[in-house]
Each structure stands twice: as structure tokens, then as C-alpha cells.
Amino acid sequence: MIERRPFSSLGGANHGWLDAKHHFSFAGYQDPARMHWGALRVWNDDTIAAGAGFPPHPHAGMEIITYVREGAISHQDDQGNRGRTVAGDVQVMSAGSGIRHAEYNQEPGVTRIFQIWIFPEQRGGTPAWGAKPFPRGERSGRFVALASGMPGDDEALPIRANARVSGATLKAGESTEYRFSDASRYGYLVPSTGRVEVDGVLIEARDGAAISGVEKIVVRALEDAELVLVDTAA
């Protein structure tokens, strides 16, 4: 099953410095039909104004993956980690037993991110943070694991979940496929840019495609497209 979730149907709020869209229930947006998708709990589409950001705040018991679409995000936490992650790259925070962090857009223009939260396999553990560049050219025409807790994804940033976050870039007219380990998995795909078809279902830029009950999908680009896909256990 491929269920299109149009960008126009997402929840969210515009706070001035932050224009946030929510694929799943979050903060003031609550929809019982959109609480999670498998182990995927949050997918936020955030636009952060220059010089603004999230002041120090706590997290626990969640794997938090940030995919930078445009600009850059600067991170600092109470574990001594600091970093700046630029467009196309990824950072991962395993909140574990508890971490306090801040994220700011210290760039001259807006920063746009996807922030993805996935339930860990086990709660607790020492908090951790990491970031890694993933050149878009290396994802050309195929999905590449960006963050993963699944066997064999040795080049991906590690997460403590039975899940994989993948990225791909496709030229207009190109197709690629993604294979799930079995039909019990849950997939959620969002084009950062571009229009695509997922098994023939039209998905516009920043729409969500909720995928279930299949072992494989075929994605065809109608325009140049940049894709992010989450594959999780139930």
C-alpha cells in the first residue's frame, strides 16, 4: 500500500523564526490517525530563520536524525559535542537516558531541515551524537543508507533502532528501487525536492508516502528529485 499524504494536509505552526510542518502528531498538532508509522514517531519539515534556533532543551529515549536540506545547523549539547552540519549531510543524536542540546541556524540565510525521530529498540543508554557528510553525487540513481541500526550498513551513522534512513538523488526520467527485508516493514518516503511516482502513485515535493505491506518499491522521477526514506520495524 502506498498512501499519499499531501504537504497541504500536514499539521504545523509558523512561529516567525520557525515555520514547522508535521507529518505526525507533534506539539500543538494532534491527529490520532497520524501518531506514528511503525517505529517512526516524528517527521518535521522545519524552516529556521537566520540567526534563530532551538535553545537548550532535553530529550530522552529517542533516536533523532536531522537531514539538512538547505543552509546548515549548528549543534551543541551537555555531553561536550559541537558540530555544524551542512546541506545534504546528516547528524544523529541518540538521546539515551537523557541529553540536553541546542540547535541554531548561524547562517546568513534560512536553513531547512527534516528532523526524524525513531523509537529505539531499548530505552536508556549513554547519549551520543555524530555527523557525517553524504555527497549527493554518491547517492545518484540509488538509495544509500545515511543512518542505520541494521546489519551491513557499516558506512551509515549508527542509530539504536531496527531502522534505516536512506537518501537518493534521481534525474528526471530515472528510476530506482528499494527492497524491504520483508512485507511487515513500514516505509515513509518524502521528496525534499522534485516530483516522483512511487509504484505509480504521484508524490509531490515534501508530500509523504506511507508505505506498508510490500517488499519492494519502484521510484520514478518526473523531475530532478532528492529523496529521504525511512524503513522501520512495526
Identify the band that residue 29 occupies on the pLDDT scale cut at 50, 70 and 90.
Answer: very high
| CB-CB contact of 64 with 95 (8 Å) | yes
Determine how many CB atoms are found less than 10 A away from the CB of residue 151: 7
CA 28/CA 206 separation, integer angstroms:
20
Q: What are the cell numbers at 153?
A: 550498513
Name the residue among 39, 16, 14 with its Cα closest to residue 24.
Answer: 39
Print burial letters for 215-227: b (CB count within 10 Å at least 16), e (below 16): eebebbbbeebbb
Rounded Cα distance between 142 and 110, Å, is 28
Other CB atoms within 10 A of residue 180 CB = 19
pLDDT of residue 48: 98
Over residues 96-132, the pLDDT tens digits come to: 999 999 999 999 999 999 999 999 999 999 999 999 9
Query: Residue 199: its pLDDT value, please?
Result: 98
183's grid cell: 512485507
**Which residues, other chains included, contact 151 with Cβ-Cβ below 8 Å and sequence gap of 6+?**
none
Each residue's pLDDT tens digit, 127-153: 999 999 999 899 999 999 999 999 999
Which tens digit of pLDDT belongs to each residue from 140-197? 999 999 999 999 999 999 999 999 999 999 999 999 999 999 999 999 999 999 999 9
